């Protein structure tokens, strides 16, 4: 599973001019499932996201997790994270899970996130979304958890 985490002071997702999810301080998680991913891979990724120390402590060091600061989590599906740009000028997306699997894994990730963390908002899988964010720092961290055979 591929993800891109952005520490935000605020973020929201709009679809057709309507806000569907919003958070204040927290993490925006752009999420892409790959063909070999499983719910177990999503669980590992979620555990890492919730415990990753990317928020500042009293000394200004990135030493606090999302759980410690009580921040929100905004999860947005983004298959384009699997873009293959090795040849040509048009990216290929065969590295992303097929839509049915991608949606099932995205839904499982969100369900687990809601069970583990009090503030979880989402976009909508497969929708044309407008994501608005104020990146805090800026802090942007790529995170990938691979399926282990």
Known catalytic residues? 78-80
Q: Are 143 and 1 in contact (CB under 8 A)?
A: no
Percent helix, strand, coil in the chain, to 5, is 25, 40, 35
Say how far apart CA 103 and CA 100 lie, in whole Å.
5
Q: Are 81 and 4 in contact (CB under 8 A)?
A: yes
Q: Considering only CA atoms, which of 76, 47, 70 is closest in space to residue 119?
A: 70
């Amino acid at each position: 599973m591929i993800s891109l985490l952005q520490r935000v002071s605020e973020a929201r997702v709009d679809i057709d001019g309507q806000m569907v999810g919003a958070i204040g301080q927290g993490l925006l998680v752009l999420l892409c499932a790959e063909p070999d991913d499983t719910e177990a891979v999503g669980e590992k990724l979620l555990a890492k996201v919730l415990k990753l120390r990317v928020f500042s402590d009293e000394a200004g060091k990135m030493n606090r997790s999302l759980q410690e600061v009580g921040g929100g989590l905004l999860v947005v599906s983004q298959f384009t994270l699997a873009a293959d740009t090795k040849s040509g000028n048009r990216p290929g997306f065969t590295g992303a899970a097929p839509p049915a699997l991608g949606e099932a894994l995205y839904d499982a990730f969100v369900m687990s996130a809601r069970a583990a963390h009090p503030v979880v908002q989402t976009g909508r899988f497969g929708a044309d979304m407008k994501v608005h964010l104020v990146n805090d720092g800026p802090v942007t961290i790529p995170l990938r958890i691979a399926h282990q055979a």
